Chain A
């Protein structure tokens, strides 16, 4: 039985092809699996993930005052709104992204929004009537709703809940 004969035999050739394909397939799967740890290592490490929640004590914020806190490396605006501001916001529907004020707060005197302009990510500055973004002039009201300017959406709300009368935990609804 010479080698030429077995190679001409169609059955053996397809068997060889099959083995080749399976081997290459297993090798490709192995390489893909070996990539997983490397890709994964570029995701946030556990110490970064540990910063996922931030507890904020509200007792130090006077009525009418705004304070900025870092959460996951991003600024969060916390505003202690006055009764007049609450009333004004409840009466308004906002601008191009209308949303009732009641849907944006858990307790009307505490507004908690992510301080990143929904246009291109700058941090807006506090004004009497809300915020003004220094980059491209987007104007937000005291509910963080977009009034004018290029920003497409209202300021985003972080997930948070009250853990005590004067304490909130940002990062977990």
Chain B
């Protein structure tokens, strides 16, 4: 075995790679379980790719066969029900994990300099993931699949001048139909591999800037410990907890995230009474509906997803450690999280009366959080510096401020 490794090492940097990225890779020793969600996301990606490949062996991307082929998977393929539920629950699990991963980044300010590119590659991953999930949702060819795809492709109508042509081009027809299904299937199979490649880029960026940590200060060398075995074990423990929850849903409540209406084959002649997107799109969907104008709603929804990329510039505070030492930012964080949950609730129900108004208020709060941040963060910086901070945090903040002012 050693001889074989030596043979490989002379031709390929296997041992140095493992040393550099795992056994010697310095990781802050104070990382909490919140830092394990990136690993979980990678794990769910692998689950989705593997189950997806096996589903594709039995699925038929043809508008006449698609719905029945999913039933075939559920009833006749050996363990087909299991593989499909792993995949459908996996999509929800993926978003739950990624949203938690993003919330951790926002709470602890992990998007701050020098981790902007790490944050932006993550943003790109989120967009790819949303596109993949959206296209995958059409494949069962149920009523929700069909009308979800119809509504979302129609959003592109908001494009000036060429709206109609773009929608027709996206669908390959004048309505969502067989050509739409086959291209969605093709791309739904392709995108996960793009995601995989983007994850590699995300990791290269991570290993360049290294993990942030809950204290916010740059740790001394002695406060870093090797990733392996300390964090492989910690991540695996987190994986155990995750798998318990995930598999409980897969085995005992597998239709939790599957809308009942999607068990009715797609019917282009009739829209279901209540059409709702998957839970992970609900807050954005609520924002879309809260703007009483097609183009305005689409733009608001697009911005609501993309605006996260601006965080490194919107947050102008130089106090490190994220929300931990920043009471106002912390309050804003929690208001924002609650706001998203309320938006999710609004998105899941028909827009009428009070709920419509709640949606509009929450949409305003959503954007105000981002718009106020540049001013609030600077004011808060002066406030917490005057009030006093732990010495190490204060030293880092003062150093950053001095650097910034020196550059001006």
Contacts and interface: CB of A to CB of B under 8 A. Distances in A.
Interface of A: 36-38, 40-43, 45-48
B50 A38 contact: yes
Contacts of A36: 79
A139 to B, nearest CB: 40
A41 B72 contact: no
Contact of A38 (B72, B75, B83): B83
B78 interface: yes
Contacts of A40: 78-79
B58 A45 contact: yes
B78 A41 contact: yes
B40 to A, nearest CB: 17
Given A37-B82, A37-B83, A38-B50, A46 B76 contact: yes
Contacts of A42: 54, 57
Interface string B120-156: 0000000000000000000000000000000000000
A151 B312 CA distance: 75
Given A38-B50, A38-B83, A41-B83, A47 B78 contact: no
Interface in B103-118: none
B96 to A, nearest CB: 21
Interface string B80-91: 101100000000
Interface in B43-60: 50, 54, 57-58
Contacts of A38: 50, 54, 79, 83
A37 B72 contact: no
A41 B76 contact: no
A163 to B, nearest CB: 26
B77 interface: yes
B277 to A, nearest CB: 29
Given A37-B82, A38-B54, A40-B79, 4 more contacts: A37-B83, A41-B57, A41-B78, A43-B78
Interface in B357-403: none
A46 B54 CA distance: 17
Nearest to B233: A23
A45 to B, nearest CB: 4
Contacts of B78: 37, 40-41, 43, 45-46
A40 B79 CA distance: 7
Contacts of B58: 41, 45
6 contacts: A37-B82, A41-B58, A42-B57, A45-B58, A46-B77, A46-B78
A45 B79 contact: no
Contact of B54 (A41, A45, A47): A41
B313 to A, nearest CB: 44
Contacts of B82: 37
Nearest to A50: B76
Contacts of B72: 45, 47
A47 B73 CA distance: 11
Contacts of B76: 45-48
B77 A45 contact: yes
A68 to B, nearest CB: 27
A36 B79 CA distance: 9
Contacts of B80: 41, 45
Nearest first, the 4 A-B pairs at minimum CB distance are A37-B79, A45-B76, A40-B78, A47-B76
Contacts of B79: 36-38, 40-41
Nearest to A40: B78
Nearest to B82: A37
A41 B77 contact: yes
Interface in B25-74: 50, 54, 57-58, 72
Contacts of B57: 41-42
Nearest to B229: A20
B247 to A, nearest CB: 11
A63 to B, nearest CB: 41
A41 to B, nearest CB: 5
Contacts of A47: 72, 76
A38 B51 CA distance: 8
Contacts of A45: 58, 72, 76-78, 80
Nearest to B86: A37
Nearest to B236: A27
Contacts of A48: 76
Contacts of A41: 54, 57-58, 77-80, 83
B106 to A, nearest CB: 34
B368 to A, nearest CB: 47
A42 B54 CA distance: 8
A113 to B, nearest CB: 30
Contacts of B54: 38, 41-42
A164 to B, nearest CB: 30
A150 to B, nearest CB: 35
A40 B80 CA distance: 9
